[in-house]
Amino acid sequence: MAVIQFNVKTRDAIGLALTQIRVQKLKSAFTLLGVTIGVMFLIAVVSIVEGMGRYVEEDFAARLIGSNTFTLRRFNNVGPGGNRGFDARSAQRRPLIRMPDIEAVRAAIPTTMKSSISSETFKYASAPGARPRQVQAVATDANYFDIKNLPVTVGRAFTDQEVRDGARVIVIGTEVAEHFFPGLNPEGRQLRIAGVPFTVIGVIEKQGSVFGFSLDRNAIAPYTSPMGRIIRPLRDLSSLIVQAPTQADLPDGMEAARGALRSLRGLRAGEPDDFGLVTQDAAFGFIKQLKGRLVLFGTALPAISLVVGAMVIMNIMLVAVAERTREIGVRKALGAKRADIMSQFLVEAATLSTLGAAIGIGLGIGLAELIAALTPLPAAVAPWSIAAALLTGAGVGIAAGLYPASRASQLDPITALRQE
């Protein structure tokens, strides 16, 4: 019975709150504004950060890093903070990655794992009749296309034999093909990288972009060709990418690689590694740091707006208490308790802020979709963010309405009835 009575009172309180909104449209609009703006930006920020997270987990790894891989590098760094606690002076004394290191790792890892040498940097490319342009120059071997999942749709990829021969052949991305050979079949045509001529033998399937960075500007040649010296003049190698059949197989492969390199380099027990083995988790860690910072800075504006909205709601409710003093006196004279009066004003405040939050959610989703359409930033609206926004809206209303509701409930009915 008590539950039914509570539900009836709550329903009546919400109905009265909605009536007040209809009667005092302008005042209600100003009351809703702060909460609406705060929730709108909150939803937009969370949607963009959530979209980035999903994009990294579902697409970034396979397209930019490679699935189920670890990478042998000179250093461990993957983005800011990757070498935290690492001495820069000792870093420079680390030996370069050279062919004996690669051969030792390849001999040690299980035969079920594939590997690919990879060195890359930006270099200027040129061709007759086209403006020079920077491309992502890559020196690698034949396994690279499989590990990186780069299907060649025009022509072919280079072979192991061409790698052994150091052939001056090159496979390019669609953006490179369209820039240097518009409307033409690039196969058999010449493309110069840093002034060195290569023969185009294939074009990779369009890959799109990652956060606005094009993945179709590749120019990939055998590491044994002049491309290796163009990218790494010291004749060292940037990295060896190792791909395991499954994620669960990675630890065994990494331990085998670590043991082989430590043995080759004569490192004693207790001495730190003088090389890096980088996994997807390291790259994801950098992205997670970035997400955390974006959320921190991105929610600052919504938080300020919600605080302002709470102050506006409190002031509006205080004015409402003053305007409805006689009404409060009548209700108390008819038997309303302090709890009834207090709950009435709390429900009104919560209804106002929740309505503002609902409007803000709709606008926030629209803003996130607009940003996703006009920029490289992805957006994904998380269901939990909608629930959190509604709860935040209600919470702001209740917090802002506590003081006005308390004042209303403490009014003396006789004094209130004398109020004109």
pTM comes to 0.64
Write the CB contacts of 74 (distance below 8 Å, at least 6 apart in sequence): 94, 95, 96, 97, 238, 275, 276
Closest CA to 217 of 128, 125, 142, 151: 125
129 or 45: which leads in pLDDT: 129
| Mean pLDDT (whole number) for 196-206 | 96
pLDDT interval class at 9 (50, 70, 90): low
Choose from 24-38, 84-98, 119-133, 203-217 the range with maximum mean pLDDT. 119-133
Catalogue the E-assigned strands of 4-97. 69-73
pLDDT in tens, 224-234: 999 999 999 98
pLDDT in tens, 380-398: 777 877 888 888 888 888 8
Three-state SS for 123? strand
- pLDDT value for 167: 97
- pLDDT value for 367: 84
**Inter-axis angle of helices 300-323 and 280-298, nearest 10:** 30
285 or 254: which leads in pLDDT: 254
Mean pLDDT score across all residues of the chain: 82
- pLDDT value for 284: 63
**Inter-axis angle of helices 300-323 and 338-374, nearest 10:** 150
Write the CB contacts of 216 (distance below 8 Å, at least 6 apart in sequence): 173, 174, 175, 176, 204, 206, 207, 208, 209
- pLDDT value for 290: 65
CA distances from 166 to 123, 190, 193, 256 (A): 19, 17, 15, 29
- pLDDT value for 81: 44
Closest CA to 142 of 169, 124, 103: 169
* 32, pLDDT greater than 60: yes
**Inter-axis angle of helices 25-55 and 383-409, nearest 10:** 150
Choose from 272-276, 290-294, 353-357 the range with maximum mean pLDDT. 272-276
pLDDT interval class at 253 (50, 70, 90): very high
85 or 114: which leads in pLDDT: 114
Tracing tokens 């629930």 back to the chain, one arrives at 387
pLDDT in tens, 256-269: 999 999 999 999 99
CA distances from 94 to 75, 202, 275 (A): 8, 37, 7
Please provide residue 192's backbone torsions phi and psi, each rounded to the nearest 5 degrees: -100, 130
**Domain spans of the chain, in order of start:** 2-59+298-418, 69-291
Which pairing describes strands 190-193 and 130-140: parallel, antiparallel, or unpaired? unpaired
| Mean pLDDT (whole number) for 60-89 | 64
187 or 283: which leads in pLDDT: 187
